[in-house]
Amino acid sequence: MKSKNTRAQAYIRQLCCLGLAKEALATELLHAVKKAIPSSSNIYMEIDVGNSSGMIVPEYEICEALAFLAAESRRLVTLPMSQRVLHWYAGHAVFDDPRIMADDFYAGDFYNLVWRPYDHHHTMQCLVSHHQGRVATLLLGRARAARAFSADEKALFARLIPYFRHGLRGRCRDETDYDGAGDAGLFVMDPGGRLVYASDKARKLLLMARYPAYPVGSPVSFEAADIPPALGRLCRNLDGIFQGRAAAPPVAEHINGRGRFLFRAHWLDPIARDGGGLIGVTVEHQEPAALQLLRRIGDLPLSPVQMEVCLMLARNQSQESIARALDIGLATARDHIRKIYLKLGVHQRDELTRRLRAAQA
C-alpha cells in the first residue's frame, strides 16, 4: 500500500513539472490527487476577491451547481469570507474547516447548493497562488458519512503544495504538441448548420471546448444545442463544395487550455452529395502529448525514479542530461536505464518509444 502511495505522489510531482496549461493540468491533477489522498471529488478554483469573478475546474460537472455558483457568486463569495480565508493562510498551509469562511457555513446556500452536491462536507484545501487580489485554491472533499481528513493526510497535502504551485502557474499553449488518441463524438446536422442529433460524448466535448474552465460571476450556458457558428460554417462549406462553389475545406481547429479540438464534416449518405442530405460532424479531443505519455508510463511496473527516467528517455533526453536533472552520476543513470529496459523487455530507446505508443492504442 505504501509503495502504491509513493508512486501516486511521484506521478503528481512529475505531472506538475510537465509545463502543461493550467486547465489541462488541473483536470488531470484532480484525479491524480485522489490516488494519494482518497476523496469524493476535487475542485480547482480561481477567484478575484474584489468582484467575486473567476473560474472553476471541477473533477466532473454538476451543471446545476456550477450554474448557480456562476450566477450567485457575488452573494456566495463575499469579501469578508475571502479575507477570513486569507487571514487563515497567513499562519497555516492547509485550510480544513469551512466554518473559517462563515460560522453558519453549513446552513448556507454555498454549502447546500454548491458544495453538498459535490459531496464536500469534510474539506481540505490549499492556497496555490495569491496575486493582485486573485486567489487560486485546490480543494479536496469528502462526503458527510466519510471520515474527516487525518493529520497524516493533511501533512502529505502540505508537502505537495509546492508542486501544485509550480505546475499551476500556467504557460504558453503555442509550444504544446498534442496526441491524437483522445475522446471523440458525433454531431448530425443539416446542410444549413442546424443540429439534428448529438452523441453524449460530443455534447461533453463541445462543453469542454467552450469552457476550458467554467466562469464564476458570469452567465454559463450548458445547452448542447447552442452550436458555435464555426460548426455551421463547416456544414455550409461542405454543401457548397459539392454544389461547385469555392468554399474552405470542412475542417476546423479549436485550441484552449484543455487541449486541441478538431471538427470535421462529412456527408452521412454518400449519394446525397448534391445537397439536402444530413452531415456528420466529428469532434476529436487531443490532449497534450506529454500528459498522455506520463499516463502510459504510470501504468508500467516501474519505481518512482524509473518512471522519471523513462519519461526523460521518451522525451529524447540524453543520458548525460538525465544524470544532471536527477543530480546523479552518469553510471547511476545508465543503471536505471538498463533496469527499465529489462523490466519492459526492450533493448533500446526506439523500442521503448514504440512500446509506449502501443500502450496508447
- pLDDT reading at 215 higher than 80: yes
Domain with CATH 3.30.450.40 in the chain: 2-171
pLDDT at site 171: 59
Closest listed residue to residue 305, CA positions, set 14, 4, 5, 2: 14
Using pLDDT thresholds of 50, 70 and 90, give the confidence band for residue 270: low
Using pLDDT thresholds of 50, 70 and 90, give the confidence band for residue 273: low
Distance between CA atoms of residues 110 and 6, nearest Å: 35
Whether residue 193 contacts residue 228, with contact meaning beta carbons closer than 8 Å, is answered with: no
Span of 171-180, 185-194, 229-238, 262-271 with lowest mean pLDDT: 171-180
- pLDDT reading at 51 higher than 70: yes
- pLDDT reading at 344 higher than 50: yes
Average of per-residue pLDDT across 258-269: 90
pLDDT at site 149: 96
Average of per-residue pLDDT across 148-156: 96
Domain with CATH 3.30.450.20 in the chain: 184-287
Using pLDDT thresholds of 50, 70 and 90, give the confidence band for residue 110: very high
Of the two residues 115 and 354, the one the predictor is more confident about is 115
- pLDDT reading at 219 higher than 80: no
- pLDDT reading at 176 higher than 90: no
- pLDDT reading at 342 higher than 50: yes
Domain with CATH 1.10.10.10 in the chain: 300-360
pLDDT at site 170: 63
Whether residue 151 contacts residue 261, with contact meaning beta carbons closer than 8 Å, is answered with: no
pLDDT at site 130: 87
pLDDT at site 239: 84
pLDDT tens-digit map of 60-96: 889 899 989 888 888 888 888 888 998 999 999 999 9
- pLDDT reading at 223 higher than 70: no
Distance between CA atoms of residues 179 and 294, nearest Å: 12
Whether residue 69 contacts residue 167, with contact meaning beta carbons closer than 8 Å, is answered with: no
**280: alpha, beta or left, given left = phi > 0 and alpha = psi -120 to 50?**
beta
Its CATH architecture, for the domain 2-171, is 2-Layer Sandwich (3.30)
Using pLDDT thresholds of 50, 70 and 90, give the confidence band for residue 120: very high
Highest mean pLDDT among 12-21, 266-275, 348-357: 12-21
Using pLDDT thresholds of 50, 70 and 90, give the confidence band for residue 199: very high
Span of 2-11, 221-230, 293-302 with lowest mean pLDDT: 221-230
DSSP symbols for 40-51 = SEEEEEEEETTT
Distance between CA atoms of residues 110 and 57, nearest Å: 17
Of the two residues 45 and 241, the one the predictor is more confident about is 45
Fold that domain 300-360 belongs to in CATH: Arc Repressor Mutant, subunit A (1.10.10)
pLDDT tens-digit map of 159-175: 999 999 999 986 555 55
Of the two residues 1 and 239, the one the predictor is more confident about is 239
Using pLDDT thresholds of 50, 70 and 90, give the confidence band for residue 1: very low
pTM score: 0.84
Its CATH architecture, for the domain 184-287, is 2-Layer Sandwich (3.30)
pLDDT at site 323: 92
Q: Give Cα separations from 214 to 87, 180, 261, 337 (angstroms).
A: 27, 25, 17, 42
Mean pLDDT of the chain: 87
